[in-house]
Amino acid sequence: MPSHTLKTVPILLILITYASWGSAILFEDNFLQCLHGNIASYALFPPSCYSPANSSFSIVLQSTALNLRYLMPSVKKPALIVMPTHESHVQAAVTCARKLGVQLRLRSGGHDYEGVSYASEMEDAFVILDLAKLRMVTVDIEDNSAWVEAGATIGELYYRISLESKTHGFPAGLCTSLGVGGHITGGAYGSMMRKYGLGADNAIDVRMVDANGQVLDREAMGEDVFWAIRGGGGGNFGIILAWKISLVPVPEKVTVFSVVKTLEQGLTKTLYKWQQVAPKIDENLFIRVILQPTKNQQGDKTVIGIFQALFLGQGNELLKITQRDFPELGLQQKDLSEVSWIESVLYIANNPPGTKPEILLQAKPAFINYFKAKSDFLTDPVPEAGLEGLWKRFVQDDGSLMIWNPYGGMMSKIPESQIPFPHRNGTICMIQYVVSWQDGSASESRHMEWIRQVHNYMTPYVSSFPRQAYVNYRDLDLGMDKNGNASFIQASPWGAMYYKNNYDRLVQIKTKVDPQNLFMHEQSIPPLPVMDTPDG
């Protein structure tokens, strides 16, 4: 190589680095100048803002990011994180994003399996609007309702309800660190869904900033938009500031249990029967199954299944139901615990016995790890032979986990088109597949290949035409082309998988309220393209 070339290369690198750094500074300055110029005078304090040059940037970025895959150095980071403390801050951010052509990522909790709220696979620089400081909860027992800001966790909401009443609850997530704003936009299922439906089914009003920077409630936005945001997925139609939810009645004492089965103890036959019983049993009873690989006493690989339940009633009544409808479970009096509803929340979230409800105010996630997840819906039972084939594949990765959540009850009574969440009548259960690891990119390809193979194995046994998936377990594999490349296009299969026949209506509403596609991410609802019309 000529000597002049050796000198030129480092000079070019310096120039490129300086240009990138200078561009980032200009981007930040322009956005902040616009932001502060558009904040309403009645907002007493400005929002907190963090750029990569700020010492707290990484801490804030990681604060609610559960999937460490999207914090890797190779993943593009935001140019700025804005944390509003007032709704006018959100309005200003939308105004500036539209004016400057800036991509916004919306984060209200971080239980975001594919990191679309805090990472990006698109080319443009982006800003995170992190709503973690908007977390007020106001409970009105006389009205059987509550207002909850988007950045509060579902655990905080549960706790605030329990302070006001021992006989009120809300049917939403089992994991208490979920951010309310995004959780309800995708549906929000939980241990009371067979009795009362989803969190989104029980949302009755909202405050949302639209693409024009206006704050709208249900009446102002109209029923079409209010329909779309309850199950149509986060980051599509606007920025949720707060939900008004309808509270539901719960007994002063409910009953919980966990019964463990291994393959050697008849797990396969019990799970086969569970598929037939769990969606049809008393709607006050929710029995989910948590499946994990383990080793038996001989050191051989096996599978353990934990049948974990909430019953909205007393233990003696529960025993009668299970002995009549599900004797294969072998439930006994010693397995039962009668607790308050808020104590059942802690139990289902796998907190140790004796944990005080105040832990819910800490809003700590159950896990932070490198992971990949997928979902499926069953409309017919997986036969025993199919389960045995699943076990052979399941035990091949020690980081694997499956959770089978039963449907039926109220979930079968609500029409598919009531809200965008379509997985209703005829659904036996939803399956969540998860694989996690701790060594970063070193073993990522092996774990990713494993979960894709398991998901592929289940194809003959799960829903089809379309094969359904849960939007709150977003899966960017569904947007890949046959060569494994990202294909973020309107025709990608995820639209029908997440929303079934509701997808076209979501596209129509998106076209009406956000035609310029301000609220966009890798699997956001796309507007219809603007058609050029010939002159004359």
Tens of each residue's pLDDT in the chain, 536 residues: 444 433 444 444 444 444 444 566 778 889 999 999 999 877 778 899 999 999 999 999 999 899 999 999 999 999 999 999 999 999 999 999 999 999 999 999 878 999 999 999 887 889 999 999 999 999 999 999 999 999 999 999 999 999 999 999 999 999 999 999 999 999 999 999 999 999 999 999 999 999 999 999 999 999 999 999 999 999 999 999 999 999 999 999 999 999 999 999 999 999 999 999 999 999 999 999 999 999 988 889 999 999 999 999 999 999 999 999 999 999 999 999 999 999 999 999 999 999 999 999 988 777 789 999 999 999 999 999 999 999 999 999 999 999 999 999 999 999 999 999 999 999 999 999 999 999 999 999 999 999 999 999 999 999 999 999 999 999 999 976 555 555 555 557 899 999 999 999 999 999 999 999 999 999 999 999 876 545 54
Contacts of 17 (CB under 8 A, 6+ apart): none
CATH fold for the domain made of 137-249: 3.30.465
Alpha carbon 419 to chain centroid, angstroms:
17
The yes/no answer on whether domain 254-339+375-438+456-473 falls in CATH 3.40.462.20 is yes
- Which tokens hold the place of 478? 């569904």
Going by the DSSP 8-state scheme, the letter that residue 49 receives in this structure is: E
Alpha carbon 383 to chain centroid, angstroms:
29
Starting at the edge strand found earlier in the chain, the sheet holding 215-216 runs 137-140, 145-149, 239-246, 203-209, 215-216
Is 343 in a helix, a strand, or coil? helix
> Is the backbone peptide bond immediately before 515 cis, with ω within 30 degrees of 0?
no
State pTM to two decimals.
0.93
Identify the pLDDT of residue 19: 41
How would you classify residue 465: left for phi > 0, otherwise alpha for psi between -120 and 50, otherwise beta? left
CATH 3.30.43.10 residue ranges for the chain = 3-130
Contacts of 103 (CB under 8 A, 6+ apart): 97, 120, 122, 124, 125, 126, 127, 520
Identify the pLDDT of residue 283: 98
CA distances for 171 relative to 35, 163, 225, 255, 424, angstroms:
37, 17, 22, 16, 16
- 3-130 maps to which CATH number? 3.30.43.10
CATH 3.40.462.20 residue ranges for the chain = 254-339+375-438+456-473
Contact by Cβ (8 Å): 191, 169:
no
CATH 3.30.465.10 residue ranges for the chain = 137-249
CA distance 202 to 239: 19
Half-sphere exposure of 452 (CA within 13 A, CB side): 12
Identify the pLDDT of residue 490: 54
Burial 283-321 (b: 16+ CB within 10 A, else e): bbbbbbbbbbbeeeeeeeebbbbebbbbbbbebeebbeb
The residues annotated as belonging to the active site are: 473
